[in-house]
Homo-oligomer: A and B are copies of this chain.
């Protein structure tokens, strides 16, 4: 399989640069007229897959909203991942895993091994145990043509407590993560497979070097307040590598299939116009 970065570049060029988050929280199930139970979760997920699988470039299922129903919720997630991938979409599993040694290897096996029922194109991971702790995931991703998105600079205000702390060399924790990723992606064409999570709501990021030659997963568009038009000023020259994520902004139009499809197309068009105004 081609590397994740290559596949992502092509998918965003073909389908438009949009990642739709699949976040079936209870308020959304209720708004769709569904019960907050496993049947509601199943119905919600099936509708999203049917409406969007063939048109959206990237999906980001939020693992927590499936895990909360235990093994039966995970079974729903497995089926969705399989169907979305079969329809040519890419999956970024938003699970924010992070551990060391054989445990990190087991998480990698869960989400990045081609024989796993949860095999995804990429996984979000947390570097609290140090970037080096993620090595088993980096290695398995390379082997299977998959990728990672490492939490670097998140959009919530509390994140600064950790991410803006300064190391002996004068760089912040967030900048250090970006530096590791730039090294990981060196020489990759057209785009490396090792991305960062960087909030679209952060405002001015000019003090950070976002030129990591890898994708930048940017939550926060739509309901969280950022708009497609904000992307160039936030991400500067790196804007073409941004994977803008919209969750509620699209999902609130369900369960109407046409409504879901139209809003996804509209966001993809607006993002393309803002990012690549040729």
Contact A131 B103 (CB under 8 A): no
The stretch of A159-167, A182-190, A263-271 that contacts the partner chain: A159-167
Contact A71 B71 (CB under 8 A): yes
Contact A70 B110 (CB under 8 A): yes
Contact B67 A117 (CB under 8 A): no
**A107 proximity list for chain B (CB < 8 A):** 64, 67-68
Contacts A64-B106, A68-B109, A74-B74; is A165 near B173 (CB within 8 Å)? yes
Interface residue? A102 (CB, 8 A): yes
Interface residue? A97 (CB, 8 A): yes
Say whether chain A's binding surface is mostly helix, strand, loop, or mixed. Answer: helix
**A10 proximity list for chain B (CB < 8 A):** none
Cβ-neighbour of A158 out of B71, B129, B151, B161 (below 8 A): B129
Interface residue? A72 (CB, 8 A): yes
Interface residue? A54 (CB, 8 A): no
Q: In chain B, what residue has the closest Cβ to A151?
A: B128
**A114 proximity list for chain B (CB < 8 A):** none
**Using a CB–CB distance below 8 Å, which chain A residues touch chain B?**
23, 25, 27, 62, 64-65, 67-68, 70-72, 74-75, 77-78, 96-104, 106-107, 109-110, 116-118, 126-133, 151, 154, 156-167, 172-173, 176
